[in-house]
Chain A
Amino acid sequence: MTHRPHSPSLVTRVTHWVGALSMIVMIGSGWQIYNASPLLPFIFPAWATLGGWLGGGIAWHFAAMWSLMGSGAIYLLHGVASGRLRRDLRPRAAYLLLRDLGLAARLRLTHAPGTYNAIQRLLYSGVLGVVILAVATGLSIWKPVQLAFLAWAFGGYDIARRLHFALMCLIVGFLIVHVCLALIVPSTLFGMVFGRRVLVIDEDKPS
């Protein structure tokens, strides 16, 4: 793999997909739990929820909590230890971000195989932070007594509960954009599944 340093490593790919599946389960079961006592004047449609009833939703939510935290911890440890996190997600200079935003607005932003553009870096590192906060707020409303410092840090149980909901909204927003873009540029999807991009394979052919 050393000759192709910019393709996602096996650890990255496995933790990405385990984390993605866990997040889908977290969202569906979280909506089930939300529906038991809605914060806002609407509920999620039953077809979009997981678990069948509140008890089922909770069972799924806490099962996926473990796989999300596990895959997330492995991803971060691996990313830090291998330097990939810093290499791939380190923010670009502001002018590069503005340039890429301008390109994206004109639908001219291309995916350079193997390196993330300024917008990707911002979105991916941003969603990592949001997921970490979502887990932390979730833990704080699950254990407001045993993890009192967390509940305190988020402004108490009621505010932490609302933050947990708001963070879910950000994650869903990211997922919609992320999935759409991955489908528009399928080579990234192949990369995250097989560890190499179809285009890269072509380029690797001896000439």
Chain B
Amino acid sequence: MKRPTIDRGLVASELRRVERRFMLKSALSLGGLAMLSGCAIDDEPSVEKALATIMGFTDRVQAMIFSRNRVAREFSASQMTRPFPFNAYYDQDDIRVVDETRWRLEVSGLVSDRRPWSLAQFRALEQQRQITRHICVEGWSAIGSWSGVRLSTFLQHIGADTRAKYVKFGCFDDYSTSIDMETALHPQTIMVLDFDDASLPPTYGAPMKIRIPTKLGYKNPKYLASVEVTNIFPGGYWENQGYDWFGGS
């Protein structure tokens, strides 16, 4: 798993999160640093382990009650949140931009065709539009309009083994996340090309993001760079720091 590198713009936000990284990670990373976190109970490795075990149980329950046929509520255009908030693990000034004509989506893992995809190839496929509520793990939510290609359609095109457990998303802003195959095949899980009927702007993840209205915000990666189909648990940027992996709504 690629660790986020600390560069110029990120130093401040990384420092803010230093404390967080001590929590709920492996017991090895705690040690003497536990003194800094100010919370005595869950610095205890056995408590961390118990919490992680219960979180695993909760994730299994989440997977169990998930249904591919149950869809997130769709809203009307007048109910959209304007302006839609920007949110990432860094500040808005640090958004990375790519040349959309040279951008390619890397494909790897348990698929029969690993050729990278261009935006034009995605534009040529049937587009799905949704106005759904994006819910952040922090509690706030916002209604936005996204359209693009169903992930299930794309997985079909690349000859993905849909019996595999996970789909992993890599991003060129060094973010990453992964989802279960059931959610990947959900009809509302789309590869977004447009936001609010215009090309996806850099603020919201240009040139491509994944929109999953059945999952929390941190399971909706922006600035997509790669898709991998795998049976090896891929984790993710926030999940590796302690957010629950399933993150379902």
Q: Which residues of A pack against B, CB within 8 Å?
A: 33-34, 36-37, 39, 46, 50-56, 58-60, 62-63, 66, 141-146, 148, 157-158, 161
User: Closest chain A residue to B65 by CB distance?
Assistant: A146
Most chain B CB inside 10 Å of its own CB: which residue of A36, A50, A52, A62 = A52
Q: Are B55 and A157 in contact (CB under 8 A)?
A: no
Which one of B42, B135, B139, B242 has the greatest number of beta carbons of chain A within 10 Å?
B139
Contacts of A146 in B (CB 8 A): 65-67, 70, 214, 248-249
Pick the residue among B41, B54, B58, B238 that contacts A55 (CB under 8 A). Answer: B238
The answer to whether A56 touches B138, judged by C-beta atoms less than 8 angstroms apart, is no
Select B42's contact among A36, A56, A62, A145, beta carbons within 8 Å.
Answer: A56
Instruction: Please determine whether A144 and B19 come into contact, CB atoms closer than 8 angstroms.
Output: no
Chain A residues, Cβ within 8 Å of B58: 62, 66
Total contacts A-B at CB 8 Å: 102
Contacts of A37 in B (CB 8 A): 136, 138-140
Interface 0/1 of B38-55, CB less than 8 Å to A: 110110000000111011
In the bound assembly, the distance between CA atoms of A142 and B137 in angstroms comes to 9
Q: Is the CB of A36 within 8 A of B139?
A: yes
| B82: min CB distance to chain A, Å | 16
Task: Tell me the B13-40 residues at the A interface (CB within 8 Å).
Answer: 19-20, 22-24, 37-39
- Tell me if B244 counts as interface (CB < 8 A to partner A): yes
Are A51 and B248 interface neighbours, CB within 8 A? no
The smallest beta-carbon distance between A25 and chain B, in angstroms, is 10
Contact call A52/B19, Cβ cutoff below 8 A: yes
Among B72, B138, B238, point to the contact of A145 (Cβ < 8 A): B72
Which chain A positions have C-beta within 8 A of B238?
55
| Chain A residues whose CB sits within 8 angstroms of the CB of B73 once the complex forms | 144-145, 148
Query: Closest chain A residue to B247 by CB distance?
Result: A58
| Contact of A55 with B139 in the complex, beta carbons under 8 Å | no
Evaluate contact between B24 and A46: CB separation under 8 angstroms.
no
Q: Which of A39, A52, A62, A158 touches B38 (beta carbons < 8 Å)?
A: A52
CB neighbours (8 Å) of B20 from chain A are 52-55
| Contact of B138 with A157 in the complex, beta carbons under 8 Å | no
Known: A56-B24, A56-B39. 6 other contacts (CB 8 A): A53-B19, A60-B42, A62-B58, A63-B51, A146-B65, A157-B135
